[in-house]
Structure 1
Amino acid sequence: MTHAPVIAAVDGSEHSLKALEWARAAAVRHGTELLIAHVLPDEAQLYAGRRSSLHDTSEPEEYADPVHDRIRSLLGSGGKLPEGIRYEPLEGSVPEALRVIGAEARMLVMGSRGRGGFASLLLGSNSRAVASTAPCPVVVVPHAERAAGADEEESAGRVVLGLHAAETPDDVLAFAFTEAAARGTAVQVVSAYLIPPVPTMVVDAPFVVVPPEGLPAPEDDAVPAELEMLRSQTERLAPFRARYPDVPVEQTAVPGDPAGRLVTASRSAALIVVGRHHPRRTAMSLQIGSVAHAVLHHAHGPVAVVPALTDDS
């Protein structure tokens, strides 16, 4: 998938144009083509069908596409461009059209909301459907209101990986490490564990980043669940450290809710990376994992939802 394009899904809304800017930068980082996909509105699709069925050559061959004109203006306003840029209008429903075109993508980037729906929604139905079913990683870029509390310079942040050492597919880890390598930044691995509540436990306390050499020894005064999780992380991360020796890795094992921890980390992260489905769900399940679902709805920065892309993941 090295030469696969980065696909930006646009509909002309400000949310989708923000996602386009993110996709443009990603295509530049990875040295790949940028494919801009626009699922035509219903009226444009009906026009094309009517003209074709009536064979009315007096009508213009194409329906006016103001989105295309706006994209050209945006890309021409500055910023480094990828080696190649394609614009492709699509027909059909938004989730299905993007699911089909996503089969050829390195990643598919879209805004958290489009033109439709209620302004108060944190995540639009199309974004949720595409993130749940696309055959490629889907990056959802939040709208301005949700990103308001995040750091201004997202490219300077870490790539944060939500990891369940026993269940997260290798494809999710590979995506996180590849993104960190392209950005020249670290991967911060976040895993959460549940422990019986005690009066002195403060779940909302800031978690501590532990480098590999800083892992507690068995005789140290450490929470057994934390110690076991850090060691499971280390074992699972070993082949990726070997494959990406220049990518710094920071390990964190924290009590409490994994989604909440990832949402907190998203305020200063360049990207949050999570797996899509729980392994006990079927490959064609339309439901997304509970952690991915919560992070998509509440994160303050971009979230990559990565499916298992290989049979042995």
Structure 2
Amino acid sequence: MTRPVAVGVDGSAAGLAAAEWGAREAQLREVPLRLVHAWEWQPHAHAPPAGPEAARRRAEGVPREVTAQLRQRYPDLGVTAELLTGPPPEMLCAAAGEAELLVIGTVGVGGLAGFLLGSVAMNTVAHAGRPVVLVRAPRAAQDEQPAQEPAAVSPRPVVVGVGLSRGCGEVLRFAFDAATLRAAPLLVVRGWNLPAYHEVDVIGADPDRAADVAAAETDDLRKALLPWREAYPAVDVTEQAVIGRPAHHLLDAAAGAGLVVIGRRTPSSKAAPFRIGPVAHAVLHHCPAAVAVVPHH
């Protein structure tokens, strides 16, 4: 069964940006696009005089309006629209489970504050079983991207942040696939820290020792990427093993990126809480590029 690209739309500028990004992604993957609007009747929150039926009719119009816009821009793309009734995070996670990936929008809050992820987005990212892409709403007309980049313009790189844990394979696979689809270069970033505190003074006092540690970390990353380079020979890969907090290096690399890919570990026990790690949290709130969050074990 062909899985679509799913997009959560709500009639906002962020939702429209997500729909536009999702349409381009669906074209790249040669799959349909499914627009969903998650709606739940709130009787005590700004209830209209006409009651829930009028509110539902308005909610039904949201995905239909976006569908009409996209069909004009992408006449060859199969687009469907659906109203899902229930708690939005649950409905979006259900839509993600039936899709290649789910796309949702976020909005900027200005200055150093970065981007605002509401409770729906945060809950969806934390619980979805499939990759979720967060797309930024343009802050001004000059920030808007064209429906398709001109052929003469080189594609912007895909950036992926990884550790060398067991679950990094799922994150790397998504990143390599994304780079392949876009014919884009791939930058693999691994942040690492100095050894335990009792070794820091020794390394700090010995530049050669510090260089040896850095070289070993780079070599470990290069070795881990060898099978991926063999499996994706067309992808131009650059690795970067750098000391310090991974989120900082990812955000630096994301300045010119077309897509940033990070992982989210899913709990091994059903009783364990679902949450977003500190690296993902920082990147989601401050990265200017679209961010794909890939769940892994």
Structure 1 residue 285: Cα displacement: 3.0
* 1:100 equivalent in alignment to 2:94: yes
- 1:110-121 map, 5 Å: 110-113=104-107
Counterpart of 1:72, as a letter, is: T
**Cα distance in 2, alignment partners of residues 175 and 124 from structure 1:** 25
**Cα distance in 2, alignment partners of residues 300 and 148 from structure 1:** 14
Cross-structure match for 1:176: 175
**Cα distance in 1, alignment partners of residues 192 and 119 from structure 2:** 31
Cross-structure match for 2:129: 135
**Cα distance in 2, alignment partners of residues 224 and 254 from structure 1:** 13
Q: CA RMSD for the aligned pairs?
A: 3.6
**Cα distance in 2, alignment partners of residues 93 and 15 from structure 1:** 19
Cross-structure match for 1:229: 217
Structure 1 residue 282: Cα displacement: 6.5
**Cα distance in 1, alignment partners of residues 103 and 154 from structure 2:** 16
* 1:78 equivalent in alignment to 2:73: yes
Which structure's residues are more often helix, by fraction?
2
TM-score by length of 1: 0.76
Where does structure 1 lack aligned partners over 5 or more consecutive residues? 52-58, 201-219
Which structure's residues are more often strand, by fraction?
2
Cross-structure match for 2:27: 28
**Cα distance in 2, alignment partners of residues 299 and 166 from structure 1:** 23
**Cα distance in 2, alignment partners of residues 171 and 76 from structure 1:** 33
**Cα distance in 2, alignment partners of residues 270 and 255 from structure 1:** 24
* 1:191 equivalent in alignment to 2:185: no
Distance 1:260 1:280, change over 3 A: farther
Counterpart of 2:259, as a letter, is: L
Cross-structure match for 2:197: none
Distance 1:20 1:147, change over 3 A: same
Counterpart of 2:218, as a letter, is: L
* 1:89 equivalent in alignment to 2:77: no
Where does structure 2 lack aligned partners over 5 or more consecutive residues? 195-199
Cross-structure match for 1:6: 5
Structure 1 residue 176: Cα displacement: 0.3
Cross-structure match for 1:122: 116
Counterpart of 1:296, as a letter, is: L
- 1:241-280 map, 5 Å: 241-277=229-265
Contact 2:267-2:274 within 8 A present in 1 as well: no
**Cα distance in 1, alignment partners of residues 140 and 167 from structure 2:** 27
Distance 1:298 1:163, change over 3 A: same
Q: Deviations over 1:254-309 (max 9, x none)?
A: 1211101111211100111000127788696321111111100110110000002x
**Cα distance in 2, alignment partners of residues 123 and 226 from structure 1:** 35
Question: Percent sequence identity over matched residues?
Answer: 35
**Cα distance in 2, alignment partners of residues 144 and 183 from structure 1:** 21
Structure 1 residue 246: Cα displacement: 0.5
Counterpart of 1:133, as a letter, is: H
